[in-house]
Amino acid sequence: MKRTLIKETPQLVGQTVTLKGWVNVRRDHGKIVFIDLRDRTGLVQVVLVPELAKDFHTEDVIAITGIVKQRPEKLVNPNIETGTIEVEAKETELFSKAAELPFDMGKETLEVELPTLLDYRSLTLRHPKVQAIFKVQAVVIDAFRKALQAKDFLEFQAPSIISAVPEGGAEVFRVKYFDHEAYLSQSPQLYKSLLVTAFERVFSVNHIYRAEPSVTTRHLTESTSLDAEFGFIESWEEVQEMEEYVVRFIFDEVNSRCAKELALYNATIPLISEKIPVIKLRDAQEIIFQRTGRDVRAEKDLAPEDEREICAWAKEEKDSDLVFVSHFLTKKKPFYVHPDPADPTYAYSVDLLCRGVEWSSGGQRLSDYQTIVNNVHEWGLSEKGIALYLQAFKYGSPRLGGFALGAERITMHILGLKNIREATMFPRDMERIDVRLSTLE
C-alpha cells in the first residue's frame, strides 16, 4: 500500500493508511500496546494488540497499516500535531531491528552529556529535539540565501585549498599538496572581494577551517561561514545596513517557519530594536568601564567578557539583543581593511554581537591597488600567494565591503544552546573528528 506521511493522518479519519517509520516509544498496557511512530514529518500514536506489536522496541524501523480514528475529546494530546487522532493497527511489518539502545531515546529531551551526544551522533540525530536544531539551521542558511538573492547577489563556491595564508598563519591547517604545501581556507574573504570586481554582488555558504588551539564553547575547527560582499558602496555604514537587513530577514523566516522548533527549546528570536545600535570600540570600552569599573579602554580588542557586557548594555539601554561595534584598530585587522580617514588608527570595520557573543565581522575594504600592495608589504605578507586577488584590483575595482556570519553561532544563540558543538551535526575540534582522536591511538 502507498505510504502516508504521519502529518497527513489528522485529515484522514476513517481511512486505512500505511505508515512507515521508527518506533519512538512503546508503552505496554496488558491487552493493548501503544507505539509512538516517528517519520520525518512527526509523531503519531498507534494502538496495537500485542500480537501485532511483536517485540518492536525503540528505533526499530517498521510499517503499520491501520485505520485512523478520532480520539475522544479528553484523550486529545495537544503536544503533538496528530494529537486529535490515533491509528488502530491491523497489520505490521518489520523492516529493520535496532540493537539495544545505549540510553533512553524516548524522552522529550535527550538526557546525555555532550561527549555521548557526539559519540552516538548517528543515533542522537534521530531524536526530534536534536533534529529541531538542524531544521532551524537549514532555515537560517536558506534565509541568508533568499535575503541576498532578493538583492541581486550571485552565489559562488569558494575553494577550500589555498596556496597562501592572507590572515596570519597561527590558526591555519597545513595540507600536503603533491610536492607542495597548501592550506585549508580560513575564510573566502579574498575570493569574495575579487569576485566583486567581476560580478558586483556575491555571496557564499561554505566551510572555513581554523586550527583553534583552545577548547571553547563557541569555536569549531570547521564551521559554516555565510559570506557576502558587494561593490559601489558609498560608505561602511551601507555594509552594516545590508547586514542588518539580512539578519532581520533570517529572524523573520525562522519565526514564521520554525514555531514548533522554537517552542521545543522555549526559545524566542533575539530582540531586535527598530535600529540595531552601533557603537565604536572605544565608546564600548568606555561604557564597560563605567558599568563595571574594569578599565579596558586601552585594550586592542573586546575580550569575551567585554562582549557579554556590551550586549547586556544594549539589552538594558537600547532594548536590543544585537549590537554593532565598529572602528576596531586598523593594525589588529587584516591588510585589506579600510582605515577611517578621520583617524586611520581605526578601521571601517564592524562586528555584530548578539546574546553575548560575536556573530559576524565585516566592513569596508581597500579598493585602491597601490594602497593594497603597500599594505601587503607593511603586514609582512608575500604578493605571490595572493596574486589573483591583487590582479583584480590592478585592473580596477568599485568601492566595496561585506561581512561574514557564522551559521552555527546564529543557530546556537537563537535556540539558547550552551555549546556550539550541539549546533553542528559533525563537529570538529582539537579532540574530535567524528570519533574521539584519543581513541584512535
List interacting residues with ligand ATP (CB under 6 A): 210, 212, 219-220, 223, 225, 358-361, 404-406, 408-409, 420
Nearer to Mg ion, 363 or 427 (CB): 363
Nearer to Mg ion, 218 or 315 (CB): 218
Nearer to ligand ATP, 399 or 421 (CB): 421
Nearer to ligand ATP, 189 or 397 (CB): 189
CA dist 108 to 43, 80, 126, Å? 12, 11, 12
Nearer to ligand ATP, 210 or 315 (CB): 210
What's the grid cell of residue 344? 586611520
Q: Which residue has the CB atom at the shortest distance from Mg ion?
A: 361
Nearer to ligand ATP, 21 or 406 (CB): 406
Q: At what angle do helices 128-149 and 236-257 cross, to 10 degrees?
A: 140
CA dist 75 to 7, 36, 70, 72, 339, Å? 19, 15, 10, 5, 66
Q: By the 8 A CB rule, do 93 and 62 touch? A: yes
Nearest to 422 by CA among 118, 85, 49, 93: 118
Q: Tell me 170's DSSP state.
A: T
The number of residues in the chain equals: 441
What's the grid cell of residue 105? 531515546
Query: CB of 217: closest distance to ligand ATP in angstroms?
Result: 10
* Partner touching 404 among Mg ion, ligand ATP, none, CB below 5 to 8 Å by kind: ligand ATP
Query: CB of 219: closest distance to Mg ion in angstroms?
Result: 12
Nearer to ligand ATP, 66 or 406 (CB): 406
Distance of alpha carbon 143 from alpha carbon 159, whole angstroms: 23
Q: By the 8 A CB rule, do 183 and 165 touch? A: yes
Residue whose C-alpha cell reads 574521539 in the numeric block:
436
Query: CB of 28: closest distance to ligand ATP in angstroms?
Result: 45
Sign of CA dihedral 95, 96, 100, 106: negative
Instruction: Spell 59-95 as b/e; 16+ CB within 10 A means b.
Output: bbebbbbbbbeeeeeeeeeeeebbbbbbbebeebeee
Query: CB of 155: closest distance to ligand ATP in angstroms?
Result: 18
Where on the phi/psi map is residue 330: left (φ > 0), alpha (ψ -120 to 50), or beta?
alpha
* Partner touching 192 among Mg ion, ligand ATP, none, CB below 5 to 8 Å by kind: none
Contact positions toward Mg ion, by CB under 5 A? Answer: 361
* Partner touching 193 among ligand ATP, Mg ion, none, CB below 5 to 8 Å by kind: none
* Partner touching 360 among Mg ion, ligand ATP, none, CB below 5 to 8 Å by kind: ligand ATP
Query: CB of 147: closest distance to Mg ion in angstroms?
Result: 21
Query: CB of 70: closest distance to ligand ATP in angstroms?
Result: 48
* Partner touching 212 among Mg ion, ligand ATP, none, CB below 5 to 8 Å by kind: ligand ATP
Query: CB of 363: closest distance to Mg ion in angstroms?
Result: 10
